[in-house]
Structure 1
Amino acid sequence: MKTNKKTAVTFSDGSVNFSLPSSWADLDQEQLRYVFFCLGNYSATTAKLYILCRFTGMLIVRRTANGILCSTGSEQQPSFMLMSWQLVEILKSMDWMLQPNYYPVRLDEIDNLQAVERCLHGVEFRSYLQLENLYQGFLRTHQLKLLAKMASFLYRNRDHTSSAPDYHNFKPWLLQSVFLWYQSVKNYFSMIFPDFFSRVDTSSEDIEETDMMKVMNAEIRALTGGDICKEEQVLSSDCWRALTELNEKAREAREWKEKYGRH
């Protein structure tokens, strides 16, 4: 794995200094792939320990009563002790990997398939609605086949056609990366379109499938003004344009309510 200025162990005045990425935005594609792999295959603590070793080039020689004996593989500084409390502090600094992410990141490519724009610019509103339905379905059922279907909307052939291979062949950790990507998009949208996403909260795992259908139909009707002839135009529009308009409608409704009350 390639390294950069953010991934190193240095020594000065008898101290060991670790330089690690501090956010999702700091990760390059190779680092991101490894983070997704670890989060999808190991417990949180084990994942962070593997990532720490990979990103710094640190090797664990053996455990001791007070910590771990480590090595950098360098003849100039062959080994050093990392006390248990020090390790705890270092791993704690990596907790951002386990917390809600508001900076959408994704693997640019999986199995020669290219990802759509990381914040879903250029994705049709109809695809967004399908993604949202699949996402809520996964929250309820945890069925990986739903993530596989989401992947079919988010990863395309190089010519960006709708024809798709069997996404069920994606390894589970890759499907989890799809989930984490869309989850971060949802968090990001909640900041960009606050009125709409505060009014239509579909983050609860208890939401019923029939309610999701009502939500989607209400969104389409709000954008078409009830004119069925406009439905295809709305569904084929960029999801950002549609969400911008829905957010404005929600803002106007909120301001009306604040000014005039419910009646």
Structure 2
Amino acid sequence: MTIDVTVPRSWTELTQEQLRFLLSAMVSVNRACANIAFPSREAYIAHTVARVQTICFLEWTGITLVTPYASGYLFKYGDQEFTLPAAVLASALTHLEWIRLPPSEPVRLDIVDGAEAIPADLSSGLSFDSWLTCETLWQRYQHTPDDTLLWQMAAILYRKDDIRPDPAATLGIFFWWAGVKNLVSLQFPDFFKKIPDDDEPLPPSYEELRRDINAQIRALTKGDITKEQEILAFDAMRALTELDAQAREYDELNRKYSKT
């Protein structure tokens, strides 16, 4: 028996329906495993990711699990039943390995709580002030996973002050900004310098964030506080473009004078 099925090969290939299903599966699996004792965080991640991959694989292919048995599973596809060894299923799940990593590009739900999102790549609709606010909230979430921080981001990104995302949509905010971070690190490599994996630091503290934000504002205003409100109102991508250019000029000056 031959079955031809296809599954998304990356976050960016997901339809809106598939994205919501993936986020919902992540939420439900994490809840189900919250009180299970695992020997390590790595074991927890491996177990939960495998469960999410399996749930999504079956949903997206239309294959139904009938029952597990000693060394494999009995499945149904349409009117036909067939068995698969566990190793074959594990091999099929490798096509969903991308679920283990955050999106490399911004991906988000178009509509949340009746509100329409700004463009996923932040090409319009976000001021530099709002960028700084979202970045601060996202980094704070790294320290303390509090959904209200992501709700505050949602209020900005979906332009609805009283927005109340459901758990799947709340998780979607986190992954959206993770994709944004990957995007801007490629677009503005001089400002967002890549840190070697072995030297990856812990998320910055709130005070470190404030100092970094103040430094970014000062770099754009060149110390003229009368221009601060004007700078904060800049389109976020325009502001990041200027910061990247300044960082590049600074590096070029350092290289020039280091040789003298």
Q: Deviations over 1:114-149 (max 9, x none)?
A: 111101122100000000111111111111111111
- State the number of aligned residues: 238
Residues 129-208 of structure 1: pairs in structure 2 closer than 5 A: 129-157=132-160, 164-167=161-164, 170-198=165-193, 204-208=201-205
- Taking the aligned partners of 2:154 and 2:259, their CA distance within structure 1 comes to 42
Q: Look up the match of 2:223.
A: 226
Q: Which structure shows the bigger proportion of residues in helix conformation? A: 2
Which residue, out of 70, 76, 97, partners 1:71?
A: 76
- Taking the aligned partners of 1:115 and 1:40, their CA distance within structure 2 comes to 21
TM-score, structure 2 length as denominator? 0.86
| Gap change, CA 1:205 and 1:155, over 3 Å in 2 | farther
- Work out whether 1:57 is the aligned partner of 2:56: no
Contact 1:41 1:173 in 2 (8 A): no
- Taking the aligned partners of 1:112 and 1:140, their CA distance within structure 2 comes to 30
Q: Look up the match of 1:102.
A: 104
Q: Look up the match of 1:257.
A: 254
Give the aligned residue type for 1:195.
Answer: D
- Taking the aligned partners of 1:82 and 1:20, their CA distance within structure 2 comes to 18
Q: Secondary structure at the match of 1:68?
A: strand
Q: Secondary structure at the match of 1:234?
A: helix
Q: Secondary structure at the match of 1:19?
A: coil
- Taking the aligned partners of 2:212 and 2:194, their CA distance within structure 1 comes to 11
Report % sequence identity: 34
| Gap change, CA 1:85 and 1:125, over 3 Å in 2 | same
Task: Please list every run of at least 4 consecutive aligned residues from structure 1 whose deviation after the TM superposition is greater than 6 angstroms.
Answer: none
Give the aligned residue type for 1:208.
Answer: S
Q: Secondary structure at the match of 1:216?
A: helix
Deviation at 1:206, TM superposition (A): 4.2
Q: Look up the match of 1:211.
A: 208
Contact 2:191 2:247 in 1 (8 A): yes
Q: Look up the match of 1:26.
A: 13
Q: Deviations over 1:138-196 (max 9, x none)?
A: 11111111111111111124xxxxxx2143xx322321110011011001111111110
| Gap change, CA 1:200 and 1:94, over 3 Å in 2 | closer
Give the aligned residue type for 2:233.
Answer: S
TM-score, structure 1 length as denominator? 0.85
- Taking the aligned partners of 1:152 and 1:141, their CA distance within structure 2 comes to 19
| Gap change, CA 1:136 and 1:200, over 3 Å in 2 | farther
Q: Which has the bigger relative contact order, CA under 8 A and spacing at least 6?
A: 2
Contact 1:18 1:56 in 2 (8 A): yes
- Taking the aligned partners of 1:136 and 1:144, their CA distance within structure 2 comes to 13
Q: Secondary structure at the match of 1:17?
A: coil
Is 137-146 or 192-201 further displaced after alignment?
Answer: 192-201
Give the aligned residue type for 1:228.
Answer: I
- Taking the aligned partners of 2:259 and 2:218, their CA distance within structure 1 comes to 22
State the Cα RMSD in Å: 2.0
Give the aligned residue type for 1:55.
Answer: W
Contact 2:49 2:99 in 1 (8 A): no
- Taking the aligned partners of 2:14 and 2:204, their CA distance within structure 1 comes to 34
Specify every segment of 5 or more residues in structure 1 that has no aligned partner in the other structure, as ranges: 1-13, 158-163
Contact 1:103 1:184 in 2 (8 A): yes
- Taking the aligned partners of 1:71 and 1:200, their CA distance within structure 2 comes to 47
Q: Secondary structure at the match of 2:213?
A: helix
Give the aligned residue type for 1:38.
Answer: A
Contact 2:128 2:236 in 1 (8 A): yes
